[in-house]
């Protein structure tokens, strides 16, 4: 099998005090790595084990899909945050948000509403779809990788992503994600890779 859980792009205490080290430790070590362990067990000795993670996601279903997508989604989530992040973006990302989502304020409002509207577990995504920025939410392990939209940013709204920091207050987590965690450089990189 030719894929592994990517290392975190920062130390486990780097997002303190916004996201506690304990939260990141449990989420990364237990949940993220747990999905990879289960995926490897499911694929052991099967031809799919020679595919890339993205290929597995796009061609599988059931437990294989769920675990593969969760590995990918979590890596994307970690990369979309940084110490001292959040707040309004600049440059091409700011232009995109202004054009399609009502600017920073419109983006923030829609992001929080989308995350709160996702019943149960899942993700909120900023995607490029048909050349336009859109915010969508997906249940469980679902990911834009299986469709035509290009993912630019995500927030994990599974309760384990915020329970140690915010208890059951998903809104507080979404607010702090927007205001203090978003890595807009990552979003800009994804936007450039999409050729827009």
Compute CA distances 93 → 87, 127, 135, 175, whole Å.
12, 12, 14, 19
Q: Indicate whether 13 belongs to any domain.
A: no
CA gap 9, 75 in Å, rounded? 9
Q: Indicate whether 166 belongs to any domain.
A: yes
Domain shared by 25 and 66, yes or no: yes
Q: What percentage of the chain exceeds 90 in pLDDT?
A: 94
Taking residues 102-110, report their average pLDDT: 98
Q: Indicate whether 179 belongs to any domain.
A: yes
- pLDDT tens for 153-184 read 999 999 999 999 999 999 999 999 999 999 99
The CATH number of the domain holding residue 98 is 3.55.40.20
If one counts the domains in the chain, the total is: 2
Q: Domain boundary at 31, 50, 79, which?
A: 79
Structural domain of 56: 21-79
Domain shared by 40 and 129, yes or no: no
- Report the predicted TM-score, pTM, of the whole model to 2 decimal places: 0.96
Is residue 196 predicted with pLDDT exceeding 60?
no
The CATH number of the domain holding residue 34 is 1.10.287.990
pLDDT (0 to 100) of residue 3: 79
CA gap 25, 48 in Å, rounded? 30
- pLDDT tens for 18-51 read 999 999 999 999 999 999 999 999 999 999 899 9
Q: Indicate whether 102 belongs to any domain.
A: yes
Is residue 68 predicted with pLDDT exceeding 80?
yes
Domain shared by 156 and 122, yes or no: yes
pLDDT (0 to 100) of residue 1: 59
Domain shared by 98 and 74, yes or no: no
């Amino acid at each position: 099998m030719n894929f592994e859980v990517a290392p975190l792009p920062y130390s486990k205490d780097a997002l303190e005090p916004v996201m506690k080290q304990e939260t990141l430790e449990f989420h990364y070590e237990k949940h993220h790595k747990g999905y990879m362990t289960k995926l490897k067990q499911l694929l052991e000795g099967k031809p799919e084990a020679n595919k890339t993670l993205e290929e597995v996601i796009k061609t599988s279903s059931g437990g294989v899909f769920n675990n593969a997508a969760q590995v990918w989604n979590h890596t994307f989530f970690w990369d979309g945050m940084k110490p001292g992040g959040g707040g309004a973006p600049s440059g091409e990302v700011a232009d995109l948000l202004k054009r399609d989502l009502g600017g920073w304020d419109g983006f923030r409002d829609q992001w929080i509403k989308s995350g709160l509207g996702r019943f149960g577990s899942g993700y909120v995504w900023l995607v490029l779809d048909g050349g336009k920025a859109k915010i969508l939410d997906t249940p469980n392990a679902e990911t834009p990788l299986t469709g035509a939209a290009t993912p630019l940013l995500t927030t994990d709204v599974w309760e384990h992503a915020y329970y140690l920091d915010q208890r059951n207050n998903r809104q507080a987590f979404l607010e702090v994600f927007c205001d203090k965690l978003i890595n807009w450089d990552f979003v800009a990189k994804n936007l450039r890779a999409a050729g827009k």
